Amino acid sequence: MKLVIQLRGLLGFIGLASHFFLPIPAQAAISCSVSVTSMSVVYDPTVATENITTGTVTISCTRAISDANTFAYTVAANDGLQPIAPLNRVQRGTSRYSYEIYRITPYTNANSWGAAAANRISGTVSFGAALAASDSKSFSLRVPGSQPVVAAGTYTDTVTVTLRNSGGTSINTTAFGVSVITTNSCQLSTPPGSINFSYTSFQAAAATASTTFYARCTSALPYTLALDATSGTLLGLNYSLALSSTSTTGTGIAQLFTINGSISAGQTGTCATATCSGSQARTLTVTY
């Protein structure tokens, strides 16, 4: 979680910059790679509610100054190591649980993330004037509820993804792991985002902002949540943070929480220009 504060000060400035460009000879064509963070899911097969976890696929590219400033792509995903149509499966020994990955909702076969052209994730990397850029897309990993219960443990699979250009040529591959955990465990199925404040020096009312997140813990498992700090100072402004709840009991499905932030009124801050911005990282800990 990142805390971001933008402070409007009392003074302004105008910056002037000169840019000099020299011709650069043409180099190699645009080069791109794909990455996907491995997925870990806490799962209770006795709960009827399906288990949804969000993942991200990122395409990172570089180019020469003479290359085009956009790159259109598609990303395909295979069915893992032990699929059974139309679902993927994680495995531990000879036991398995079914799951599937999807590009978009609703979670139908037509919207799954797969190898066929119609099931690939697509997008465009836009460079602007830069020589390096990236583009990220989200996807969903769905584990159906009420599956036959097998021995508790960690069940795994490996999915291979392939990056293609607009002409359909494969240019990069990578793999990501899928782990489904059925022992007592907790996860942040949707982690908190940034808390973004906007504050003007000496403003009359407090500034407030918040972010939400989801935690998923095994059924009947008590757990607590805590921030590494509930107050701090950034750009000379004192802020406070509070969790909507600090303890509860797991249900096997995602549970919603909020982090609420506030900056009290009448503070000066330390911004000496028209606007200032700064950030601090805060850590959220789930204990069970």
Q: Which of 183, 217, 233 is the last residue of a domain?
A: 183
Q: Give residues with Cβ within 8 angstroms of 161, minimum separation 6.
A: 34, 36, 57, 75, 76, 77, 78, 173, 174, 175, 176
148: in domain: yes
**Banded model confidence at residue 26, pLDDT cuts 50, 70, 90:** very low
- Same domain assignment for residues 161 and 202: no
Whether 12 has a pLDDT exceeding 60, the answer reads no
Whether 14 has a pLDDT exceeding 90, the answer reads no
- Same domain assignment for residues 192 and 154: no
Q: Which of 162, 183, 204 is the last residue of a domain?
A: 183
pLDDT in tens, 254-271: 999 999 999 999 999 999
pLDDT in tens, 38-77: 999 999 998 999 999 999 999 999 999 999 999 999 999 9
Least confident of 26-40, 71-85, 119-133: 26-40
- Same domain assignment for residues 167 and 192: no
- Same domain assignment for residues 239 and 204: yes
- Same domain assignment for residues 199 and 174: no
DSSP-derived 3-state class of residue 111? helix
pLDDT of residue 86: 83
Q: Which of 217, 141, 140 is nearest to 179 (CA)?
A: 141
What is the distance between the alpha carbons of residues 122 and 1, in angstroms, rounded to a whole number? 28
- Same domain assignment for residues 61 and 131: yes
Mean pLDDT of 237-249: 98
The CATH number that applies at residue 89 is 2.60.40.10
- Same domain assignment for residues 166 and 281: no
17: in domain: no
- Same domain assignment for residues 82 and 154: yes
pLDDT in tens, 80-118: 999 998 899 999 999 999 999 999 999 999 999 999 999
pLDDT in tens, 145-167: 999 999 999 999 999 999 999 99
pLDDT of residue 252: 87
Total structural domains within the chain: 2
- Same domain assignment for residues 221 and 170: no
The CATH number that applies at residue 236 is 2.60.40
- Same domain assignment for residues 178 and 227: no
pLDDT of residue 53: 93
Q: What is the share, in percent, of the chain residues with pLDDT greater than 70?
A: 90
15: in domain: no
26: in domain: no
240: in domain: yes
**Banded model confidence at residue 134, pLDDT cuts 50, 70, 90:** very high
Whether 203 has a pLDDT exceeding 50, the answer reads yes
Query: Which own/partner contact pairs does 96-99 have at CB distance under 8 Å and 24+ positions apart?
Result: 96/150, 96/155, 97/43, 97/45, 97/143, 97/147, 97/150, 97/155, 97/180, 97/182, 98/143, 98/144, 98/147, 99/41, 99/141, 99/142, 99/143, 99/144, 99/157, 99/178, 99/180
Q: The pTM is what?
A: 0.72
Residue 287 tokens read as 């204990």
221: in domain: yes
- Same domain assignment for residues 75 and 179: yes
Mean pLDDT of 122-136: 97
pLDDT of residue 85: 84
Q: Which of 183, 209, 231 is the last residue of a domain?
A: 183
pLDDT of residue 15: 35
Q: Domain limits at 43? A: 31-183
Whether 2 has a pLDDT exceeding 70, the answer reads no
Whether 285 has a pLDDT exceeding 50, the answer reads yes
Mean pLDDT (the chain, rounded) = 90
- Same domain assignment for residues 89 and 227: no
24: in domain: no
14: in domain: no
Q: Distance between alpha carbon 271 and the CA centroid of its chain, in Å?
A: 31
